[in-house]
Amino acid sequence: MNKKTIIMTVIASILIAGIAATAFFTTLLQPISVTPTVSGPQRVSEVRIGVLTPLTGPAAYFGEGQKAMAELMAKKINEEGGIRSLGGAKVRVIVADTEGKPEVGKIQAERLIVEEKVHLIIGALHSGVTSAASIEAERYGIPWICETSSHPDLTRRGFKWFFRIWGHDEIFAKEYFLLLRWLQEKTGIKINTIAFIAEETLFAVGVAHAWEKYNLDPNLGGYKVVANIRHPSGVSDLTSEALTLKAANPDVVFMVNTPIPDAILWTKTLKQVGFFPKALMTTGGFTFPAYLEAVGMDGEYIIGRGGWSLDLTSVKPKAKEVYEWYTRETGKDMHIYVMTMHAAMVLVRDVLERAGSVEPEKIRQALIETDLSGDEIMNPWKGIKFDGTGQNIYPIDLMVQVIDGKFRMIWPSGFQAVEPIFPAPSWEERK
Amino acid sequence: MSFSPSIFLNLLIAGIFLGGIYSLVSIGLTLIFGTLKLVNFAHGALMMVSMYLTFWLWALLGIDPLISLPISFGLFFSIGYALQKILIMPIIQRPVSAQMLMTLGLLLVIQNAVIMLWSATPRQVVTDFANLIFRYGELYINFPRFAAFVVAMTLSGILHLFLTRTDLGTAIRATAQDSETAKVLGIDVNKVYALSFGLGTACAAVAGNLISTFYPIDPFVGDTFLLMAFIAIVLGSMGNYIGAFIAGLILGVVEIFTAFVLSSLLRQAVPLIIFLLLLLLKPEGLFGGRLRE
């Protein structure tokens, strides 16, 4: 073989490997048989917490915040005397990069368990990664606290060691339809047609499916779906998708995509083709400060399932306290993934204090018995308490709208800070 | 999916504009491959750094991307030249695996350095003209994309003239054809290598500069474009810069129409299928040969 052939073969192999990895990732939500092993009790001077999050790849911005919060919380706990029930054992956070890829997350989870000997894992942001990586924790019998992955199936796998503090997409998806109904009742404007747009990841497709499901319920949705678009993440151009959308001309667009760059590109492309629906209801990359900074006033009127809004600080003292502390210490943006990492670390501390041991079974038992007050965390939840599947029963999320360059809380009613703007003005009307 | 003439035209324009960027990235990549016989995996990363340079020049000093264009070109020509002298030269006679490790390593180092320096927060250059859109009825032309396309075409033209009409250009092409003979004929092959690497990198830098006004900047943005560039240079026959140029345009149009007509999910798959078919049926590419003689 000459050099050129070798090079082309290598390039071809890399490309094929990429496709294979994608295929691999779509087959991961299968239940597996597990053989938990229980390690014996140890004398502890430190508790090791594995944190799985993307530090490279398109979602690195999210992971950076999570890493900063996890490390900051560990520092705070240690400065306050460590875990008292363990004789002041120090908490050490070991952050591992998932690159946002399920196969990498799986390897990293195993490394954390086998080599770093972590007592607990928090992770892993992406549903696809959590799905794959949590199998390792289940296999080795290590408790897993899922902070933000929202695919409904994650807590339906019958796992023994898996606990999710965050809600799942079927809980959240319903909020969109309730909000839409409320907006119509308020303004008397009738919505007939909608469109769904989702990026092809486990998370986004899960959200889209949940939306589709609720729309079938005539009491909740029942709108005519005029376009249903799926696109890969990290695309170089979205003109085709935007033109498809414009041709279908839906009253309301439901859009879900994770990476912020994609959200930026969607916004710019919608402006370019001159289309904006009466309401653009989003989740994913749209509800982050970095998004708003990049698009400026073009982000106006977008509605999102936000998690974070500065308005929260005026409703919830803990949110104000943590927000000020975190931004002062790190200089980084506050966003939903930072909030959930904070909640996860608060839970870890609470669980370890109650467990009084680093034995996996004891930690698991403490997790099951969790009844954490909502006053301890930033999130607008009543608290943390798990049902039989390991799902927190309290999470809710905020709906925000971008008004005057800020995420303002518009829903649910207890958290409404401003009047929503509906219908949103078209691009022409904004000049 | 039904077509109206205006949608067809809008798609065609979007495809050609996107293709123009692919072309520019591909020309640089193929120029390096043609002369040095080296696959530069760091090409996309260098383009990404150029996007950050454009961003910082704009954010800190208020320099418009169109004005910082020559700065990008000059600076990245020098960076490419230096990279070749320092990192690539020692391994140029080594096996392909060593070369790949070097450029892949460079890619990782650059990406991680950027994350450490500037974090993974996505950024965007927002200039006065960034939001300029010309409308002719149902036809819309986005000015930054249009400008990017025009500059990409112009630069490709200048590069072509340079390679065919100047002594240095001839030396590059001679080295690409047969480096041993070129050496015998008194051409300073090492200098030609550095020059080609510099020029190739400068092409990527200009592409990065041009797209920074309409494409979000993050440390991994290069990957998206590099994948297409690899397909383009094989499609256009590796080392053939005119082939890469045309292939880039074709890929842009194919991708845009695939996304509209078939499914957005196939937008990257269809070019990959074309790529695999080509490897099977016509492995030398559509245009044959290395650098045009």
What distance in Å separates residue A23's CA from the closest CA in chain B? 13
Terminal Cα-to-Cα distance of chain B (whole angstroms):
44
What distance in Å separates residue A401's CA from the closest CA in chain B? 21
Local confidence band at B291 (pLDDT 50, 70, 90 cut-offs): very low
Among A181-185, A274-278, A372-376, B117-121, where is mean pLDDT lowest? B117-121
Instruction: Give the gyration radius of chain B's Cα atoms.
Output: 19
What distance in Å separates residue B259's CA from the closest CA in chain A? 6
Local confidence band at A414 (pLDDT 50, 70, 90 cut-offs): confident
pLDDT of res. B119 = 85
> What average pLDDT does this structure show over B166-176?
90
CB contact under 8 A, B119 and A64: yes
Q: How many alpha carbons lie under 13 Å from residue B111 in its C-beta half-sphere?
A: 23
pLDDT of res. A12 = 64
Q: What is the CATH number of domain B5-113+121-281?
A: 1.10.3470
CB contact under 8 A, A58 and B218: yes
Tokens of A266: 């969607």
CB contact under 8 A, B133 and A272: yes
Q: Report chain B residues whose CB lies below 8 A from the CB of A296.
A: 126
Local confidence band at A4 (pLDDT 50, 70, 90 cut-offs): low
For residue A265, pLDDT beyond 70: yes
Give pLDDT tens digits for B97-109: 898 999 999 999 9
CB contact under 8 A, B267 and A57: no
Choose among B96, B220, B272: nearest Cβ to A7: B96
| CA nearest to B264 within chain A | A231
Among A28-37, A131-140, A211-220, where is mean pLDDT lowest? A28-37
pLDDT of res. A14 = 65
- Please give the Cα distance from B279 to B282 (Å, whole number): 6
Query: Domain extents for chain B?
Result: 5-113+121-281
Local confidence band at A16 (pLDDT 50, 70, 90 cut-offs): low
Q: Report chain B residues whose CB lies below 8 A from the CB of A294.
A: 122-124, 126, 216
For residue A27, pLDDT beyond 90: no
For residue B286, pLDDT beyond 90: no
For residue A90, pLDDT beyond 70: yes
H/E stretch holding B49 reads helix B43-61
For residue A40, pLDDT beyond 70: no
pLDDT of res. A142 = 97
Choose among B126, B260, B275: nearest Cβ to A243: B260
What distance in Å separates residue B207's CA from the closest CA in chain A? 13
pLDDT of res. A3 = 65
| Contact map slice: A 9-28 vs B, CB within 8 A | 10-12, 15, 19
CB contact under 8 A, A63 and B234: no
- Please give the Cα distance from A122 to B143 (Å, whole number): 46
pLDDT of res. A49 = 97
CB contact under 8 A, A236 and B215: yes
CB contact under 8 A, B267 and A240: yes
For chain B, how many helices (H) and strands (E)?
Answer: 11, 2
Among A12-21, A168-177, A214-223, A234-243, where is mean pLDDT lowest? A12-21
pTM: 0.81
CB contact under 8 A, A240 and B120: no
Q: What is the DSSP letter of B219?
A: T
Q: Report chain B residues whose CB lies below 8 A from the CB of A11.
A: 39, 230, 234
Local confidence band at B279 (pLDDT 50, 70, 90 cut-offs): confident
**Any idea which residue has 């796992």 for tokens?**
A159
Choose among B1, B37, B276: nearest Cβ to A244: B1
Q: What is the mean pLDDT of chain A?
A: 89
Q: Complex ipTM above 0.85? A: no
According to the 3-state scheme, what is the secondary structure of chain A? Answer: CCHHHHHHHHHHHHHHHHHHHHHHHHCCCCCCCCCCCCCCCCCCCEEEEEEEECCCCCCHHHHHHHHHHHHHHHHHHHHCCCEHHHCCEEEEEEEEECCCCHHHHHHHHHHHHHCCCCCEEEECCCHHHHHHHHHHHHHHCCCEEECCCCCHHHHHCCCCCEEECCCCHHHHHHHHHHHHHHHHHHHCCCCCEEEEEEECCHHHHHHHHHHHHHHHCCCCCCCEEEEEEEECCCCCCCHHHHHHHHHHCCCEEEEEECCHHHHHHHHHHHHHHCCCCCEEEEEEHHHCHHHHHHHHHHHCCCEEECCCCCCHHHHCHHHHHHHHHHHHHHCCCCCHHHHHHHHHHHHHHHHHHHHCCCCHHHHHHHHHCCCEEHHHCCCCCCEECECCCCEECCCCCCEEEEECCEEEEEECHHHCCCCCCCCCCCCHHHC
CB contact under 8 A, B260 and A240: yes
| CA nearest to B123 within chain A | A294
CB atoms closer than 10 angstroms to residue B254: 17
Give pLDDT tens digits for B39-74: 899 999 999 999 999 999 999 999 999 899 999 999
pLDDT of res. B51 = 95
For residue A403, pLDDT beyond 90: yes
Give pLDDT tens digits for A180-202: 999 999 999 999 999 999 998 88
What are φ and ψ of residue B246, in 5° steps? -65, -40
> What average pLDDT does this structure show over B80-88?
93
